[in-house]
Structure 1
């Protein structure tokens, strides 16, 4: 086989796509603009760099849609999940990873693969010939974004995304803070104590909310009309929706007992999750923010236990772009006006690390089949990957299309005899059992082996 698959973007989606195609026997070129051209959020030139959270979220494949997505990617030999597992950190029932170790390992595996070549440099135009996957993510360069807009005849949709701050562990006051996962979740002691918890009294919480609402914030430029993705709202936006909103969101105190004062129930709790294997860095869970840097330092040091905190990275906000995929992409993830180009990852309107990587996995398998002159059967919409691709390629309402995490609301309903009026504790295992059977069958029917 002499035809090459070109992949634009070396993020999680592009890296997974490259791995899948190369393992199937196709030569791959990854075109990555970093480090020659940087972005607001990226700090290195490594592939698969994690720029926001370090969590792949729930790893429960029997009761959770994202955990099911993990399972499907593992079954398909996914590189992202393999390296995530290899660099996992204790995080209760979630899969959190050492972001630097993870990215370095993905980079090393791909650079060592005999069928993968990484070419630095920015792609600024849509290619007319060859087989291409564009997986440039929500931080697509301005030049390429303009080329996409010119081709599609419509401006890309956009929303604002935010990242949370990271704290140096040695500056956290452990005489106030204690280690515990919510409800002691986890099979090992390390998992049961994967999070650090900062307790707040009612007075401390009210003071924190006052400071948060009054803080200087980054505002939109005149003419900016993009909104926020609800799954990654800045904490000050949540606080503006009601003073108690945070206490029922990222600062909820349920399932936790203060080890220093077990008889006192905290009014609110700020959680920190380990960010690297060494345990020297912790990120503040759910604390995405658009506060200006000086304000962040002042406000976050009001959190009990973080009075003397030193920050390895402060939070920030950036504008993300994504396609109106239901209008622009066909069922094979190809751009309707340029069918030699597929799109994958967050730019298609999926939200989340594993959702993005899974679209890279599928786009690569579709591209490999096309290169071979074959046609793969559609992925069953009863699976997590099938539900996502069905959503972005026609299942969603184009007029209101917004970024979406995987969730059981995207899956076809269970047969009435199986679903009835049962609660989610019964429905979710039924969804996942059906998905696993259908995904195994699809993989068996579409096995990609080196030709």
Structure 2
């Protein structure tokens, strides 16, 4: 009989990993901390509780997360199968009855003959094959244990991430490349503002709607000021911070009042983050306010700015693309703890970890999905981006390697075709 695998955490990633293992006849010990101990924001003891929203976002195949869902369906995802069966009307999005969704997944896993369930707080990493999927609100005691195990890079305990935009959406009739005082390579994209443009941006920023913070998050951000809070401290405050114009003039006759800088975020140079723009603004307000920046009128945001409690490891330093620990091959990590962001993305990481753990148990090589499909591109991104700039990332087209040259208007369609073709190849490899 194969060795039992311990899966710690019964969120979306842990449940999907446990399911993929059980499908392949691998015994699973699924451990969940609730109801023995409730992390903040959780309200039930059900598996796969959807804390923030009941929406799993778009189903459309011209959207990265829509393609990701289709990839998951092809690979027999429990989470997607259950979500489809518990769907409620939501237009082109997939939204679910969250209570029925959690209840169905809980019953499915607890009734599976290959899965046994325990309710306890884990504070030590167990010996033997293990998948850690304890999520963004990992208990303090277990977080300390993970820290001690990782050694090279401590856990991060919150996101303070600026928005990331697609380079193709930037208007270079207004924006230009330059480094401050022309030092080094001109690697930053600069968006200058005159006085009227700055005034309009400032007024919109200080009056924009913000996300309400949980009480347990408020202490975390004392040393990390959101751009809108900086603005509220005085109209000139940003001009001595992230909007400082000195040394960024386009030429001798150019004297901007403020300059917003964007820094390259991926190797392919298709994504750029807005420097210093960590924010509490709601997502619609980010689109509205930041589109007032000259050159960003038509910005496409692939990851919105966030500031919230979110425990995650520095995956580029400590994980392989298979979600295996570099330090210990029989230890996998999955879910938001790895730096994937979002319900569906967490599920996908759990699916890959579960499949690859099962292969390892059976003496087969783990599969590197690669960055030609959506779920593979997120695994590639979190393990290959620059460690010092690593922040969690949603599924998006900007990190996918499209191998066929095509017109810009065809890009999403071609990525969809390529991604689903790759997933079907993986499906065949899994079934061999």
Task: Provide the C-alpha distance between the structure 2 equivalents of 1:404 and 1:227, rounded to a whole number of angstroms.
Answer: 21
What's the offset of the Cα at 1:331? 3.0
Judged with a 3 Å threshold, the aligned counterparts in structure 2 of structure 1 residues 436 and 227 are, in CA distance, closer, same or farther, namely: farther
The answer to whether the 8 Å contact 1:13/1:356 transfers is yes
Task: Provide the C-alpha distance between the structure 2 equivalents of 1:222 and 1:40, rounded to a whole number of angstroms.
Answer: 14
Partner in structure 1 of residue 154 of structure 2: 155
How do residues 58-97 of structure 1 correspond to structure 2 at under 5 angstroms? 58-61=58-61, 63-97=62-96
Task: Provide the C-alpha distance between the structure 1 equivalents of 2:213 and 2:374, rounded to a whole number of angstroms.
Answer: 41
Deviation string, structure 1 residues 352-375 (Cα, Å, up to 9, x no partner): 001001000000111001111111
Partner in structure 2 of residue 108 of structure 1: 107
Deviation string, structure 1 residues 287-312 (Cα, Å, up to 9, x no partner): x99xxxxxxxxxxxxxxxxxxxxxxx
The answer to whether the 8 Å contact 1:380/1:442 transfers is no
1:234 aligned onto 2:271: no
The answer to whether the 8 Å contact 1:158/1:226 transfers is no
What's the offset of the Cα at 1:236? 6.6
Deviation string, structure 1 residues 374-405 (Cα, Å, up to 9, x no partner): 11342132111111111122x21111010000
Task: Provide the C-alpha distance between the structure 1 equivalents of 2:17 and 2:2, rounded to a whole number of angstroms.
Answer: 18
Partner in structure 1 of residue 125 of structure 2: 126
How do residues 210-229 of structure 1 correspond to structure 2 at under 5 angstroms? 220-221=218-219, 224-225=222-223
Judged with a 3 Å threshold, the aligned counterparts in structure 2 of structure 1 residues 226 and 156 are, in CA distance, closer, same or farther, namely: farther
What's the offset of the Cα at 1:222? 7.4
Task: Provide the C-alpha distance between the structure 2 equivalents of 1:81 and 1:115, rounded to a whole number of angstroms.
Answer: 21
Partner in structure 1 of residue 430 of structure 2: 446
The answer to whether the 8 Å contact 1:160/1:227 transfers is no
How do residues 132-147 of structure 1 correspond to structure 2 at under 5 angstroms? 132-147=130-145
Task: Provide the C-alpha distance between the structure 2 equivalents of 1:363 and 1:160, rounded to a whole number of angstroms.
Answer: 23
What's the offset of the Cα at 1:64? 1.3
1:379 aligned onto 2:355: no
Number of corresponding residues: 329
Over the aligned positions, Cα root-mean-square deviation in angstroms equals: 3.4
**Once structures 1 and 2 are overlaid, which stretch shifts more, 7-16 or 318-327?**
318-327
Task: Provide the C-alpha distance between the structure 2 equivalents of 1:367 and 1:150, rounded to a whole number of angstroms.
Answer: 23
Judged with a 3 Å threshold, the aligned counterparts in structure 2 of structure 1 residues 18 and 353 are, in CA distance, closer, same or farther, namely: same
Deviation string, structure 1 residues 30-89 (Cα, Å, up to 9, x no partner): 11000111011110000000001111111112x111111100110111000011001111
The answer to whether the 8 Å contact 1:59/1:70 transfers is yes
Deviation string, structure 1 residues 325-361 (Cα, Å, up to 9, x no partner): 0101123322222322100000000000010010000
Corresponding residue SS for 2:37: coil
1:411 aligned onto 2:400: yes
Partner in structure 1 of residue 347 of structure 2: 357
Partner in structure 1 of residue 169 of structure 2: none
From 379, 399, 411, give the equivalent of 2:388: 399
The answer to whether the 8 Å contact 1:322/1:346 transfers is yes
Corresponding residue SS for 2:30: strand
Deviation string, structure 1 residues 161-193 (Cα, Å, up to 9, x no partner): 9xxxxxxxxxxxxxxxxxxxxxxxxxxxxxxxx
In structure 2, stretches of 5+ residues that fail to align are: 161-202, 227-272, 293-304
Judged with a 3 Å threshold, the aligned counterparts in structure 2 of structure 1 residues 398 and 60 are, in CA distance, closer, same or farther, namely: same
Task: Provide the C-alpha distance between the structure 1 equivalents of 2:145 and 2:138, rounded to a whole number of angstroms.
Answer: 11
What's the offset of the Cα at 1:217? 9.4
In structure 1, stretches of 5+ residues that fail to align are: 162-205, 249-287, 290-316
Q: TM-score, normalization: structure 1?
A: 0.66
1:328 aligned onto 2:318: yes
Task: Provide the C-alpha distance between the structure 1 equivalents of 2:220 and 2:364, rounded to a whole number of angstroms.
Answer: 50
Task: Provide the C-alpha distance between the structure 2 equivalents of 1:105 and 1:216, rounded to a whole number of angstroms.
Answer: 30
Q: TM-score, normalization: structure 2?
A: 0.69
The answer to whether the 8 Å contact 1:40/1:318 transfers is no
Task: Provide the C-alpha distance between the structure 1 equivalents of 2:104 and 2:376, rounded to a whole number of angstroms.
Answer: 28
Corresponding residue SS for 1:114: coil
Task: Provide the C-alpha distance between the structure 1 equivalents of 2:101 and 2:214, rounded to a whole number of angstroms.
Answer: 32
1:5 aligned onto 2:5: yes
What's the offset of the Cα at 1:414? 3.2
The answer to whether the 8 Å contact 1:380/1:439 transfers is no
Task: Provide the C-alpha distance between the structure 2 equivalents of 1:237 and 1:67, rounded to a whole number of angstroms.
Answer: 19
Task: Provide the C-alpha distance between the structure 1 equivalents of 2:340 and 2:225, rounded to a whole number of angstroms.
Answer: 16
1:36 aligned onto 2:26: no
Judged with a 3 Å threshold, the aligned counterparts in structure 2 of structure 1 residues 227 and 410 are, in CA distance, closer, same or farther, namely: farther
What's the offset of the Cα at 1:220? 4.0
Judged with a 3 Å threshold, the aligned counterparts in structure 2 of structure 1 residues 429 and 39 are, in CA distance, closer, same or farther, namely: same
